[in-house]
C-alpha cells in the first residue's frame, strides 16, 4: 500500500486528527485528552519522524491509560501480507462492526483496500438487533472481527448463527474466550479463528484457523508468516517482525522486537497459548493468581454474563481475590457460584463478590479494569457494609 493511499484511508475514517504531519487515530475523548495534556509542549516531528511512524494509533487496552503506537504504510502492509498468506485469502471482504480507531477496525479497512475487496462498516447495535447485510457470493471471502462478548450475544439468535456460518472466518480477539463460549460456537458450526495481537503489532500476529477450531483446538494458533513470536525470561511473549510498531508517539525506537505484558507458552505443536498478564497478577498469601484463570472458572458456573477478577489491598492476605460483576442485567446466584468453584485451590477462590454500578465497558465490550478496581475498592472500604 502506498503512503498517500493509506493517508487517504485514515482521513476518510473521520476519527483522525493531523498535527504537524502526524496522523493521530483515536476516539474523540482520547484525542481531546491528548491535546490538553501536551498543550504548548506538543512535539514537532522532524523529517525522520515523518518518514517512519507517521500514523499514531491510540492504544490503552484495559488499563484506561491511552498511548499512541506509531505505524506507517510498511508496518500495516506487512501485516496484511502475513494475514492473507496465513488464511490463504486473496481478496478480503469484511463486515466491520468495530470503530475505525480500534486497530481491528482499521486493519479491516486496510486489508480490503490492499486486496481490492469490499469493506462494509456496520453499526453493531443494528447487527445485534437483526439488521444483517447479505454476504455476496463469488466476489471473495467474507470475514468479520468480534470480541468475545459480541460473539456471545450473537449466539443467542438462530438467525445470527445462520448468518455467521456464511463467513470464511470469524476472528475473535480482544480478550480471553471462555471454554463454554468456544464450545457453543463449535457446536453451532461457526468458522471461528481465535487470534492474538495488539495495536503495537498492527493487529493479529498469531491465529487459529477455523478448521482447527472446529476440530477442538483452543489455542491462539501459529504465528502468522510476517511475525516471529518467542517466549522470553519470565514467560513473557516477545514479538518481532515488520508489522511491529516504531515506538510510542512522540518517542521512536529502532528495535523491531516487542516484549509484551502477556505470559504465554507454546504447546507441543508450536501453537501459542496465553496464560495471563504481568500487570494483572494478584499476589495473595504469597501465591500468584492470574485473574483470567479465576474468570474462566466463574464463567463455567453459568452464573455470569460478565465478570472481572481483581486484587484489592488486604491486611491479612496482602491482596484479596475479588470478583466483580455489573449491577445491570442478569444477576448471579452466589450460592451456586460458591458451589461451582469449590474445587478451585483456596488461593483462587474469590474472597468477595462485588456488584458494580455503571459497569465501565466501551462499545466493543472491553472492560476498563482500573475503573472496576476503583469502584470495587470504594464499595469494600465502606465501614460495616454487609457482604454482597
Q: What is the pLDDT of residues 29-76, one digit of tens each?
A: 777 777 666 554 556 666 666 678 899 998 864 445 578 899 999 999
Angle at 89 between CA 85 and CA 90, to 5 degrees: 100
Task: Give the β-pairing of 287-289 and 282-284.
Answer: antiparallel
Q: Residue holding cell 486493519?
A: 107
Q: What is the pLDDT of residues 221-270, one digit of tens each?
A: 999 999 999 999 888 999 999 999 998 887 766 667 999 988 899 999 99
Distance, in Å, from the CA atom of 48 to the CA atom of 130, rounded to the nearest integer, reads 48
Q: What is the pLDDT of residue 36?
A: 67
User: Model confidence at 143, in pLDDT bands (50, 70, 90)?
Assistant: very high
User: Model confidence at 351, in pLDDT bands (50, 70, 90)?
Assistant: very high
CATH topology (fold) of 73-245+253-276: Rossmann fold (3.40.50)
User: Model confidence at 121, in pLDDT bands (50, 70, 90)?
Assistant: very high
Q: What is the pLDDT of residue 258?
A: 93
Q: What is the 3-state secondary structure (H, E, C) of the chain?
A: CCHHHHHHHHHHCCCEEEECCEEEECCHHHHHHHHHHHHHHCCCCCHHHHHCCCEEEEECCCCCCCEEEEECHHHHHHHHHHHHHHHCCCCEEEEECCCCCCHHHHHHHHHHHHHCCCEEECCHHHHHHCCCCCCCCCCCEEEEEECHHHHHHHCCCHHHHHHHCCCCEEEECCCCCCHHHHHHHHHCCCCEEEEEEEHHHCEEEEECCHHHHHCCCCCCCEECCCEEEEECHHHEEEEEECCCCCCECCCCCCCCEEEEEEEEEECCCCCEEEEEEHHHCEEECCEEECHHHHHHHHHHCCCCCCCEEEEEEECCCEEEEEEEEECCCCCCCHHHHHHHCCCCCHHHCCCEEEEECCCCECCCCCECHHHHHHHHHHHHCCCCCCCC
Q: What is the pLDDT of residue 38?
A: 57
Least confident of 134-138, 164-168, 237-241, 383-387: 383-387
Q: What is the pLDDT of residue 388?
A: 41
Distance of CA 305 to the CA centre of its chain: 18
The CATH code belonging to domain 281-380 is 3.30.300.30
Residue 172 in contact with residue 220, Cβ under 8 Å?
Answer: no
All CATH 3.30.300.30 domain ranges of the chain, comma separated, are 281-380
Nearest Cα neighbor of 71 from 248, 239, 254 is 248
All CATH 3.40.50.12780 domain ranges of the chain, comma separated, are 73-245+253-276
More confident residue, 135 or 40: 135
What is the pTM assigned to this prediction?
0.80
Nearest Cα neighbor of 35 from 24, 47, 50, 46 is 24
Q: Residue 188 pLDDT > 90, yes or no?
A: yes
Amino acid at each position: 500500500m502506498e503512503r498517500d493511499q493509506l493517508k487517504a484511508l485514515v482521513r476518510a475514517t473521520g476519527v483522525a486528527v493531523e498535527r504537524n504531519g502526524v496522523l493521530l487515530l483515536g476516539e474523540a475523548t482520547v484525542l481531546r485528552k491528548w491535546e490538553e495534556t501536551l498543550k504548548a509542549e506538543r512535539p514537532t516531528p522532524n523529517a525522520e519522524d515523518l518518514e517512519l511512524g507517521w500514523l499514531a494509533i491510540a492504544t490503552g487496552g484495559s488499563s484506561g491509560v491511552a498511548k499512541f503506537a506509531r505505524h506507517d504504510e510498511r508496518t500495516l502492509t506487512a501485516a496484511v501480507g502475513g494475514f492473507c498468506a496465513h488464511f490463504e485469502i486473496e481478496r478480503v471482504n469484511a463486515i466491520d462492526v468495530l470503530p475505525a480507531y480500534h486497530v481491528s477496525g482499521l486493519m479491516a479497512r486496510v486489508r480490503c483496500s490492499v486486496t481490492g475487496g469490499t469493506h462494509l462498516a456496520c453499526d453493531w447495535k443494528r447487527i445485534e438487533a437483526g439488521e444483517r447485510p447479505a454476504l455476496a457470493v463469488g466476489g471473495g471471502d467474507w470475514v468479520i472481527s468480534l470480541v468475545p462478548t459480541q460473539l456471545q450475544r450473537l449466539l443467542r439468535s438462530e438467525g445470527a448463527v445462520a448468518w455467521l456460518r456464511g463467513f470464511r472466518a470469524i476472528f475473535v480477539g480482544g480478550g480471553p474466550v471462555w471454554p463454554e463460549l468456544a464450545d457453543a460456537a463449535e457446536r453451532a458450526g461457526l468458522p471461528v479463528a481465535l487470534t492474538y495481537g495488539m495495536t503495537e503489532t498492527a493487529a493479529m500476529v498469531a491465529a487459529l484457523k477455523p478448521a482447527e477450531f472446529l476440530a477442538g483446538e483452543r489455542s491462539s494458533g501459529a504465528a502468522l508468516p510476517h511475525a516471529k513470536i518467542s517466549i522470553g525470561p519470565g514467560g513473557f511473549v516477545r514479538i518481532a517482525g515488520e508489522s511491529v510498531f516504531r515506538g510510542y508517539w512522540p518517542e521512536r525506537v529502532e528495535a523491531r522486537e516487542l516484549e509484551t505484558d502477556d505470559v504465554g507458552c507454546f504447546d507441543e505443536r508450536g501453537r501459542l497459548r496465553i496464560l495471563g498478564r504481568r500487570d494483572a497478577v494478584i499476589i495473595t498469601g504469597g501465591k500468584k493468581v492470574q485473574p483470567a484463570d479465576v474468570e474462566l472458572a466463574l464463567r463455567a458456573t453459568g452464573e455470569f454474563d460478565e465478570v472481572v477478577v481483581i486484587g484489592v489491598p488486604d491486611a491479612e492476605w496482602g491482596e484479596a481475590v475479588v470478583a466483580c460483576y455489573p449491577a445491570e442485567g442478569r444477576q448471579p446466584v452466589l450460592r451456586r457460584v460458591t458451589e461451582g468453584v469449590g474445587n478451585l485451590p483456596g488461593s483462587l477462590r474469590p474472597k468477595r463478590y462485588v456488584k458494580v454500578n455503571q459497569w465501565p465497558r466501551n462499545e466493543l465490550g472491553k472492560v476498563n479494569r482500573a475503573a472496576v478496581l476503583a469502584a470495587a475498592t470504594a464499595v469494600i472500604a465502606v465501614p460495616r457494609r454487609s457482604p454482597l
